[in-house]
Amino acid sequence: MAVPKRKQSRANTSARRSQWKAAPVHLVKSVENGRTVYSLPHRAKVVEDSAGTPLYLEYKGRKVADV
């Protein structure tokens, strides 16, 4: 088993850790029934009825799959 020869400095540790960043999710903004909705681009959306129950997945006006 490999064994470290020297103690790693706090500077090296924090320099490594500072590179781990979260990237923002790219969303598209659209207005549906007067509400602004953010959603992932190029992805089928869930169509809901008035009570909020999911009905089916829709993409470009075509029913794609059941939920």
* Residue numbers at the binding site for another protein (CB under 8 A): 42-44, 57, 59, 64-65
CB-nearer residue toward another protein: 22 or 65: 65
Nearest approach, Cβ of residue 16 and another protein (Å): 26
CB-nearer residue toward another protein: 15 or 64: 64
Nearest approach, Cβ of residue 40 and another protein (Å): 8
Pair 55, 48: CB distance under 8 Å: yes
CB-neighbour burial class of residue 45 (10 A; exposed 0-12, middle 13-18, buried 19+): middle
Can you name the residues that pair with 47 across neighbouring β-strands?
56
